[in-house]
Structure 1
């Protein structure tokens, strides 16, 4: 199998999500072996067990920051680290970020995602799919964060446009989006340091950038970042896989356990269990 050296896949986690990171890395290696290099941003004083550390080709360790409080949002947004991948891991033509609460089912997603990079400034999944019809746009969470961070300019914000999910993104190293994103996150940090009350989200600033800067976007399909909070997958016993609930029941390539879905117990095919990779592996007999 050929090694794709011009693409780096990156994730990030702290000790709170070590088990999710283990699942993400295990599913990645099961799907791709060593075809793609895998890197990690490890923060908050997290110490990886050797079994997990061996899964990664590169690691950046970020020490705890006493100025950060988890109630203010996400550490990766507070530090702007997700917007600095070419700086943290230089030397690659393109980068794909995958949240640690995602896991891979099969090897189809990454080639599809990366195929869009040469002709787009950003490859990302809009949370807008026929299977998400019961999930409101904008969500209450989106409205809350925009009202907190952009109250003075709320009418100019793209509130009516579908949210873009920053859990799986891909960009060329020279995409202008890195700098635009980093600047938005830096402005939030500056306001925080001046004593303003802000919420550190990397996704909301990216949503703002996408729609206010006419970004040349490649929308990723739902199968490449399946939002389990919006729609549960279908269990397909014959193929031992999770699939899209409607015909033609395509294979889901990346399962995303965003928010409460990290630990949620769900009813699937007559059984109650979580959608974590380790549970699905046992359930489906991989």
Structure 2
């Protein structure tokens, strides 16, 4: 079911009291702690007069939470009333198979966890920021009333260079959209690339929030997939239409194309003109095993030695 709302003109923002302009919101549990620390370290250059770094704790250990607290402006525990709950028969299965599911299904409530901000940017914990300019660009779009997100599309990504890979990608996407929204919506949206939810932005009064919550609740009544919240917000953005798409360098999918390091030390796109990457998204499974040997973690992963005693088994995908 796709819910619809009547859109209204953007409200004037300057007269409203906000703690700061933008909340950068991250959700994390103990399994992604090592990458979370890298992300938080990479966010230290942010202007804290404009940004607050906010963390939703969906299962960190007490020691892990204590370690990251100095790197965050706010930490809030996940709340059962601020999560979309799937059908009760699915919950026990999710607890076993996807223990971080609450990190996915609390996303419609970011503004409720951390009220008092004009703009909200979401970052997956397996991202790290090489250049904060992408966050500034996102805030500029969000401030103007637009949703901001990055499509999973670039000349370096393999499905754009192979008919077989592209056909498979479209078929898989259409199948998942059909599962949650039916064949009619899948026929319209299945051929478009995913908008990746690792990095997106919404204004506090955007119509997307309620649509996202209600549509995600409808979609997960009887079924679940680890991409369900991405599919749902994609469909909401297609419906509302007021979306600013940023280039792939604003959320680079490292599992689709491994970056190259320039002579200046910056990670760059592997194809001409080798544009520097703003946000490196360490997508896929076995993230540390895959990316640490390549030096792709924040600061080459040198920070890991200091937190090895706090690490826990990491099983996140995405």
8 A contact 1:9–1:95 mirrored in 2:
yes
How has the CA–CA distance of structure 1 residues 125 and 175 changed in structure 2, closer, same or farther, with 3 Å as cutoff? same
Aligned partner of 2:236 among 195, 198, 209: 209
Measured at CA, do residues 220 and 231 of structure 1 come closer, stay the same or move farther in structure 2, by a change above 3 Å? same
- Unpaired segments ≥5 residues, structure 1: none
**Offset at 1:281?**
6.0
Paired with 2:248 and 2:186, the residues of 1 have a C-alpha distance of 29
For the residue of structure 2 that corresponds to 1:263, the secondary structure is helix
Structure showing the higher helix proportion among its residues: 2
Q: Is residue 294 of structure 2 the alignment partner of residue 273 of structure 1?
A: yes
Q: Look up the match of 2:194.
A: 163
Aligned residues: 266
TM-score, with length taken from structure 2: 0.74
2:20 aligned counterpart, secondary structure = coil
Say if 2:213 is the partner of 1:182.
yes
Runs of 4+ in 1 over 6 A off after TM superposition: 63-66
Distance in 1 of aligned mates of 2:187 and 2:175: 16
For 2:266, the equivalent position in structure 1 comes to: 241
Deviates more, 1:46-55 or 1:13-22: 46-55
CA contact (8 A) 2:170 2:190 kept: no
Residue aligning to 2:37:
22
Larger relative contact order (C-alpha < 8 A, sep ≥ 6)? 2
Q: CA RMSD in A?
A: 2.9
Q: What's the TM-score once normalised by structure 1's chain length?
A: 0.81
Say if 1:24 and 1:104, in contact at 8 Å, map to a contact too. yes
One of 48, 57, 70 as aligned partner of 2:73? 57
Deviation at 1:149, TM superposition (A): 3.0
2:72 is aligned with 1:40: no
Q: 1:248, CA displacement in angstroms? A: 3.1
Structure 2: give runs of 5+ residues left out of the alignment.
1-18, 86-90, 304-318
Structure 1 residues 140-194: Cα deviation after superposition (integer angstroms, max 9, x where no partner): 65355335434565655511111100100011100101111111111134x1xxx
* C-alpha distance in 1 between matches for 2:208 and 2:148: 11
